[in-house]
A = this chain, B = another copy of it.
């Protein structure tokens, strides 16, 4: 039986609903319809009354989830697309993120953001917002890149007492497959060496891990061994694992699908520069999407985001520096 990344997210939600009666799901079209991407398919029937269709009111969706969480529930909110979380932005960053710190009462909500670009999805159905949310104190931001992590981290996200922004990549939904659901997972907060290497470290998360792995395979044919670090969560960042990798390779390339100014890649590079300066044999480099909205047309979209080709080129460059 092959389990997709999407199945994993659904199964994790099903298990959480099964095991903890304080869990419920709230979002547009999540009940009978099973969600725009079918991430909640069948759950409304299996768990009557616990998967609820919401009006087109992202602010109130998240606001009410916060209220329920304060009262001890563990709501899972599905945004139809990550991009629409801009409407819930205030509730997320000012209400959910500050709640525990202000009141001492925790706010265990999980906000699922179907994230990242796909062909033809354009400026408003493609965004990667992990860096926006990671900027704010009080949020945990997860960016699973594998089926195993999609499952395990979703379970963890629901169990954690803090608001979790769960960035699930739409490009991985159907194509990424595993043989079975995992029995154990790496703890949240730990990065994973997705591929070992010694000539350079590429740090990435979510869909970019797969582009980086493909680039690493490509470069392996040229004799270069690229180490790929899968961040898993961008807040917290596992700086130790990154530094240990850079200690082995002496070279760093941070790759992100987000916009270039001030996101995850700059955070990685500046941490390594500050804390692991002496480990670096060459200037640490970054590769991001371009500084424009995300284009609709596939020709443009493919050039806008980092791909295995552009990662390969950047890594080759880095090795030569």
Contacts and interface: CB of A to CB of B under 8 A. Distances in A.
A112 to B, nearest CB: 19
A217 to B, nearest CB: 25
A179 interface: no
Interface string A273-312: 1110110101111100011110000000000000000000
Contact of A135 (B137, B235, B263, B271): B263
Copy tally for this chain in the complex stands at: 2
A102 B296 CA distance: 10
Contacts of A290: 137
A232 to B, nearest CB: 16
Interface residues of A, number: 50
B269 A261 contact: no
A158 interface: no
Given A273-B270, A284-B273, A138 B89 contact: no
B293 A98 contact: yes
Nearest to A276: B283
Contacts of A263: 135, 262
A206 interface: no
Interface string A123-162: 1100000011011111000000000000000000000000
